[in-house]
Structure 1
Amino acid sequence: MALGDTLIEVTGVAKHFGEGETRVDALRAVDLTVRAGEVIALLGPSGSGKTTLLNVIGCILAPSAGRVVLDGEPVFDGKWLRRDLRRLRLDKIGFIFQSHNLLPFLTAQENVSVVLDLAGWPPDEGRARARELLDYLEVGHRAMVKPALLSGGEAQRVAIARALANRPRIILADEPTAALDGARAGLVMDLMRRLAVEQEACIVTVTHDEKIFDRFDRLIHLRDGHLVSA
């Protein structure tokens, strides 16, 4: 597969919590590059630094040291280089979680279009974009249904549509298939791979789900905050 632009460039990133005897080094001098079209997995035991690294890339957690460049823009180099991190996340990053986190009082379509409302899209365009994504992910027929009436696989596809609504090129997923059976997990990962290629995005997934390991381009292992293989 031909890969595109470098979308994530993490250089010398470290993150510690606490000081002195209580200090915990969650990340230690991590270097990682991910390009458009790539789907990669972060693997490792509990406490190895996987979610911490995902949160650093997602601009939720500030590193203690190092440099982060997203989609060609330096965003952290000893300090945040962008004042409005909320806008940065909205423009560049889509998040997918183990629990779909859909708003229970909104329909599937409204759960997707609300992201575009926040981004300042005109309402009609936001609704059209939401329906386009739901159709693309083969849940358009469930657009007017609220989350309680969706199956687990349907809800996760709506959550993927929401993550993609504003066309981010960086998609971060934290255990996105843990609640799904093998068949549904495979379908979700196949959809995500297709999206990465067609939308020139990259996907970084924290997972323990061995049944989807063959869906990734690279398996990246973390242990005690160190990148031990890539």
Structure 2
Amino acid sequence: MSVDPRRVIVDVANVSKHFGEGDARVDALKDIDLAVHAGEVVALLGPSGSGKTTLLNVIGCIIDPSAGKVTLDDELVYDNRWLRSDLRKLRLDKIGFIFQFHNLLPFLDAKDNVALVLKLAGKSATEAQRRALELLDYLEVGHRKDSMPALLSGGEAQRVAIARALANSPRIILADEPTAALDSKRAGIVMDLLRKLAAEQDACIIAVTHDEKIYDRFDKLFHLRDGRLDGGDMA
């Protein structure tokens, strides 16, 4: 699949988010503008409480902005209100999530952890299994398809989690501290893999991270402080 680097996959315009009212009001995001293109892997950096995870959750359609517009994969999905009634389907269609800890279901093997997402999206059991095996092979953990999460190494479990995030071929992959639980070597492998995925799957990847050892794996570094976004610096 060829990637058009001019195509904007995530477009956040003048987005703000506050919690509470009056003296208890906290402005978590203030007039955020962010555009991420096809094939890009970008980082959101900043101290704890700066708004990184809040911004990731807004892009992931998990929390409501207080104002602004959000366009995902050429679809305007939020314009001072949600324009889609079924946000669960929106997430299934467009977004893959990767977390610091793999969050694999402990009672399902690697293959079924991935296939479950496809079944939830309405795929047949046969198609779900075929796609799960294809992804595990692509991520070089196909030989561990029948292993339970407790028997996987940290790097293997994270690859299975990435396979799960890719199950529905999302254009947007959101990663919250994806390498924090990994050593330097495994962190580098995971980031190289995410770069490969962005290039080959016509996707963009937005990662919240404090992991300085992987900064050079990003195309751009965005800095959040007190709810305001700066940067877009080349890594």
**Shorter-chain TM band:** over 0.9
Question: Do 1:41 and 1:206's aligned partners in 2 also have CA atoms closer than 8 Å?
Answer: yes
Secondary structure of the residue aligned to 2:98 is strand
SS in 2 for 1:100: coil
Partner residue of 1:141 out of 139, 143, 153: 143
Inter-CA distance 21–49: structure 2 relative to 1 (3 Å threshold): same
The correspondence for 2:27, drawn from 20, 25, 28, is 25
Query: Hey, what's the Cα distance between the residues in 2 that align with 1:229 and 1:220?
Result: 5
2:56 maps to what in 1? Answer: 54
Inter-partner Cα distance in structure 1 for 2:231 and 2:105 = 38
In 1, the alpha carbon distance for the partners of 2:187 and 2:216 equals 12
- Tell me which residue corresponds to 1:15: 17
Which residue of structure 1 aligns with residue 45 of structure 2?
A: 43
- After superposition, residues 212-227 of structure 1 pair within 5 angstroms as 212-227=214-229
- Alignment TM-score, normalising by the size of structure 1: 0.99
Q: Is 1:118 paired with 2:130?
A: no
Q: Deviations over 1:15-52 (max 9, x none)?
A: 00001111100000000000110000000001110000
Which ranges in structure 1 are unaligned for 5 or more consecutive residues? none
Cα offset, 1:229, TM superposition? 1.6
| Structure 2 unmatched runs, 5+ | none
Give the SS at the match of 2:82: coil
Q: Render the CA deviation track for 1:43-88: whole Å, top value 9, x for unaligned.
A: 0001110000000000001000000000000000010000000000
Q: Cα distance, 1:2 vs. partner?
A: 6.2
**Partner of residue 178, structure 1:** 180
- Which residue of structure 1 lines up, in the alignment, with residue 69 of structure 2? 67
Identity level (%): 71
Structure 2 contact 110–148 (Cα < 8 Å) conserved: yes
CA contact (8 A) 1:4 1:200 kept: no
SS in 1 for 2:147: coil
Q: Distance in 2 between matches of 1:89 and 1:212?
A: 27
Q: Distance in 1 between matches of 2:111 and 2:213?
A: 30
CA contact (8 A) 2:4 2:38 kept: no
CA contact (8 A) 1:4 1:37 kept: no
Report if aligned partners of 1:96, 1:171 keep a CA contact under 8 Å in 2: yes
Deviation per residue, 1:117-161 (Å, 9 max, x gap): 000111111101100100110100000000000000000000000
Q: Name the count of aligned residue pairs.
A: 230
Q: Structure 2 length normalisation: TM-score? A: 0.97
User: Are the counterparts in 1 of residues 66 and 80 from structure 2 also a CA contact under 8 Å?
Assistant: yes
- Name the SS for the 2:106 alignment partner: coil
- 1:127 alignment counterpart: 129
Post-superposition Cα deviations, 1:83-106, rounded to whole Å, max 9, x if no partner, equal 000000000000000010000000
User: Equivalent residues in 2 for 1:145-184 (5 A)?
Assistant: 145-184=147-186
Question: How much is the aligned-residue C-alpha RMSD, in angstroms?
Answer: 0.9
Q: Aligned to 1:28, what secondary structure does the other structure show? A: strand
Code of the residue aligned with 1:66 in structure 2: it is G
